[in-house]
Amino acid sequence: MSETELTLPQPWRDIDGTERSSFLLSLEDEATEHREALMRMAKQLRSACLVGNAAPVVSKMWERISKPVPGDLVVECSRALHRMDHQGFGILLSRRQEGPTEYDDAWYVQYGNGSRDIARWENCEFMTLPCAG
């Protein structure tokens, strides 16, 4: 085994959520429409940014939304947006290389208010939902 393989974290190791009380991450039925509306708006924002000869403001927005960092409100673009999968919408906890090889690109997202409401995603793409100016 190489030194890199020995130092890569194992899936779920050191991934901890936080107890929250936000309506934004509520999994209650009354929050479903709100969550899905945000996901649909994210899909439209993504489409609007993927234009040829983008204006500088659009290029700047794309630069921000296409590179999520831990703490960002995110949505998974390749599957969750199309299926309205609630586990693909939440707060990004971590993105890291894992496993026995460097090819396991894992994303951890807290999708609900409970500290255990965490989903692990692989082979996917996330975008940031810009909430601040």
Average pLDDT, the chain: 91
User: pTM for the whole thing?
Assistant: 0.89
Task: Provide the residue ranges of all domains of the chain, joining segments of one domain with +.
Answer: 3-128
Query: Does 63 have pLDDT greater than 60?
Result: yes
Residue % of the chain over a pLDDT of 70 = 92
3-class DSSP string for the chain = CCHHHHHCCCCCCCCCCCCCCCHHHCCCHHHHHHHHHHHHHHHHHHHHHCCCCCCHHHHHHHHHHCCCCCCCEEEECCCHHHHCCHHHEEEEEEEEEECCCCCEEEEEEECCCCCCCEEEEECCCEEECCCCC
Q: What tokens were used for 101? A: 């090889």
Q: Which residue has the higher pLDDT, 4 or 15?
A: 15
pLDDT in tens, 14-60: 999 999 999 999 999 999 999 999 999 999 999 999 999 999 999 99
Residue 105's DSSP bridge partners are: 97
Write down how long the chain is: 133
Sorting pLDDT into bands at 50, 70 and 90, what band is 99? confident
User: Picking from 3-17, 51-65, 74-88, 94-108, which range would have the lowest pLDDT averaged per residue?
Assistant: 3-17
pLDDT at 55: 95
Q: Which residue has the higher pLDDT, 4 or 131?
A: 131
